[in-house]
Amino acid sequence: MQISGNTIFIPGATSGIGLALALRLKDKGNTVIVGGRRTEVLEQLAREHGFDTVRIDTTDAASIASASAEVIAKHPSLNVLVAMAGIMRIEDWHRPDGFLDDAEQVVTTNLLGPIRLIAAFIEQLQGQPDATIVTVSSGLAHAPLRVTPSYNATKAAIHMLSESVRLQLADTSVKVMELVPPAVATELLPGQSRSPVAVPLDAFVDEVMHLIETQPDAHEILVERVKFLRFGEVRGDYDQVVQTLNSTDPHAAS
Ligand SMILES: NC(=O)c1ccc[n+]([C@@H]2O[C@H](COP(=O)([O-])OP(=O)(O)OC[C@H]3O[C@@H](n4cnc5c(N)ncnc54)[C@H](OP(=O)(O)O)[C@@H]3O)[C@@H](O)[C@H]2O)c1
């Protein structure tokens, strides 16, 4: 995607990476529509930053349908969807009550949500001369963090979904760009923003913006810090990567 001149919808931009990216993209001359569940935060973002906002719960098919219709009606030139909304849960798979509820929520939010969002926007995007679907996976798509099995699995699925949909849409105007964050200092897990080993949010988004600007056709946005996880199998040190990853604080690894 080009770094400016787009109309971009980011469901999952009320905090963290989504909000930081929304602010940077707006500063670069894009129209950015912010989505999320927290209406008071949406109102504050509209007031303080002039964003157009929409309430959306990406676990709810009806909410996706109504929010997408509203966004498309108000912004007929919308050409970028960033499927940012995501959750992470620590699970214990020794007993069903240690993981099943969380696993269902994680799959519904992190995998079914982006699939439904793409379905809601795919015709709109194909009607634009230059359009992009930005998916959001994780370094954990490529090396497992022991305490978050469902999260890792959904992010691996997002990676493969991105690879596959990109191939299928090669005959259209729609590109697929996968953002692959390492551990970033947000509240994805409670307390993660204070982790000394998470990449500071501003530094992460600076690097992401630089990569988009210099590699507008990149399939994956890979900041330096994620390459340790992303390329373990390629380098041949996967076992070492998994061991190192799981010997650190879980906040350090999402
Ligand atoms: N931070 C990291 O270390 C890291 C690493 C790799 C990948 N990622 C990915 O980056 C994305 C953003 O995470 P973050 O770190 O920025 O965490 P965050 O600060 O917790 O942000 C999550 C965002 O998703 C939204 N969201 C969650 N569930 C939603 C739902 N059902 N419907 C609509 N919006 C929903 C939240 O908004 P509301 O609460 O207002 O709904 C919020 O805006 C996620 O997909 C995450 O997996 C993060």
**Backbone conformation region of residue 122, classed left if phi is above 0, alpha if psi is from -120 to 50, else beta:** alpha
Catalytic residue among 51, 151, 204, 228: 151
Whether residue 212 lies inside any domain: the answer is yes
Residue 12's region, left for phi above 0, alpha for psi from -120 to 50, else beta, is left
pLDDT at residue 93, rounded to an integer: 98
Q: Please, what is the Cα angle at 123 between 180 and 170, to 5 degrees?
A: 55
Domain that holds residue 169: 7-252
Residue 2 lies in a domain: no
Q: Nearest 5 degrees, angle CA 82-CA 220-CA 208?
A: 70
* Closest CA relative to residue 226, chosen from 164, 176, 177, 184: 184
Of all protein residues, the one whose alpha carbon is nearest to atom 7 of ligand 1 is 138
Give residues (CB < 6 A) around ligand 1: 11-18, 36-38, 41, 56-59, 84-88, 109, 136, 138, 181, 183-184, 186-188, 254
Instruction: Check which CATH number belongs to the domain holding 167 and give it.
Output: 3.40.50.720
- Is residue 203 domain-resident? yes
Residue 84 CA, ligand 1 centroid: distance in Å: 6
Residue 115 lies in a domain: yes
Cβ proximity of 254 and 140 under 8 Å: yes
Sheet with 131-136: list strands edge to edge. Answer: 52-55, 31-36, 7-11, 80-83, 131-136, 174-179, 220-221
Report DSSP state, residue 53. E
2 CA to centre of ligand 1 in angstroms: 24
CA 185/CA 169 separation, integer angstroms: 33
In this structure, how many other beta carbons lie within 10 angstroms of the beta carbon of residue 52?
18
pLDDT at 254: 58
202 falls within a domain? yes
Q: pLDDT value at position 251?
A: 58
CA pair distance 117, 131, nearest whole angstrom: 15
C-alpha 9 to ligand 1 mean position (Å)? 14
42 vs 125: CA distance, rounded Å: 24
* Phi, then psi, of 133 in degrees rounded to 5: -100, 120
Show pLDDT as tens, one digit a residue, over the chain (254 residues).
Answer: 999 999 999 999 999 999 999 999 999 999 999 999 999 999 999 999 999 999 999 999 999 999 999 999 999 999 999 999 999 999 999 999 999 999 999 999 999 999 999 999 999 999 999 999 999 999 999 999 999 999 999 999 999 999 999 999 999 999 999 999 999 999 999 999 999 889 999 999 999 999 999 999 999 999 999 999 999 999 999 999 999 999 976 655 55
Q: What is the pLDDT of residue 231?
A: 98
pLDDT at 248: 72
Write down the pLDDT at residue 75: 98
Do the domain assignments include residue 243? yes
Residue 1 lies in a domain: no
Q: Which residues of 222-232 are buried (b: 16+ CB within 10 A; e: fewer)?
A: bbebbbbbbbb
Q: Is 238 a catalytic residue?
A: no
Whether 101 is in a domain gets the answer yes
Q: How many domains does the chain have?
A: 1
